[in-house]
Amino acid sequence: MTTQSETDVTCSLARRLARIPHLELREAEPLSRHTSFGIGGPADLLVIPQRPEALREVIREATNAGIQALYLGNGTNLIVRDGGIRGLVIRTSGGLSDIAVEGTAATVECGVSLARLCFLCGERGLAGLEFAAGIPGTMGGALVMNAGANGGEIGDLIEWVEVVTPDGSCKRITRRNLDFGYRSSALRDLGLSILRARLRLRPDDPVEIHRKLCDTMALRCAKQPVSRFSAGSIFKRPDGDYAGRLLDEAGAKGMRVGRAAVSTKHANFMVNLGGATASDVIGLIEAARELVYAEFGVLLEPEVCIVGED
């Protein structure tokens, strides 16, 4: 429950944020509008910075107010509980979307979608991102979780990442200090806002790159429920196996809790059938984990992040 003093702090912050140029501010914004699952309660404050200096000023003001922000890209790989988020949500998607290509390097702002980046680099004859075609997130989210597929990971391409510190200044972190691992990076623990990253790619024939991107997209569409509201893969891959296989063999496909269901197309995806709540999805996650544990003795670890209040 929010106290009166917390409400006063939030209202005071909203007044200061409203004065920042190139910043869109929304109050009591339903996060169901900003997540790929189409679920989530309201954020007290949601801002969409259009320029880097706006992001830096937002973070400075939030720090001064003693409020820890939640960073949001396309809202993939994320479940927001039904009570929503108290305080501030910073959405980078829709604003911070600049891509600068120099030779075989691309400097990419955090709000750029991976889909747009893959095809733009392909047009420029820059290869290396073909594995990421169809991953629905943004550069910022991809860096935090070291997004990957088809044998590739975003961390393999990174030279450095620039983050915004609590006082609004910028700091550059080189790849060797980012500790990229399977669906993890040091960025998650740092809790800092990502501003941009520099990727090192390699030259190749644009026609060949385009073919590989299209093949990757076609494979994803054939195997995953891309036409449904979902949050991508629900569980991480367990050692020596695949979560989807374990869930399938345990009989999870088609399981339902409320209006949330395990996809019949891919058992490691859960979908919103329309009107699902976060409680439905979280209940289904727990039911699926228990099913696999009872059958195989393997406790699956969620890949999705669950945030917010009940």
Return the active site residues: 183, 233, 303
Beta strands in 20-157 (DSSP E): 23-30, 42-49, 70-72, 78-80, 85-91, 99-102, 105-109, 126-127, 148-149, 152-153
- Dist CA 224 CA 221 (whole Å): 6
Question: Hey, is 241 helix, strand or coil?
Answer: coil
- Dist CA 109 CA 198 (whole Å): 9
Q: Which value, to the nearest 10 degrees, does the dihedral of the CA atoms of residues 91, 105, 160, 136 take? A: 30
Provide the 10 A C-beta neighbour count for residue 84: 21
Provide the 10 A C-beta neighbour count for residue 15: 9
> In this structure, is the dihedral angle defined by the CA atoms of residues 295, 301, 305 and 310, taken in order, positive or negative?
positive
Question: Hey, is 76 helix, strand or coil?
Answer: coil
Give, in order, the Cα–Cα distances in Å from 226 to each of 20, 50, 271. 37, 29, 10
DSSP string, 152-214: EEGGGGEEEEEEE-TTS-EEEEEGGGS--BTTB-HHHHH-PEEEEEEEE-EE--HHHHHHHHH
CB 304 within 8 A of CB 232: yes
- Dist CA 289 CA 291 (whole Å): 5
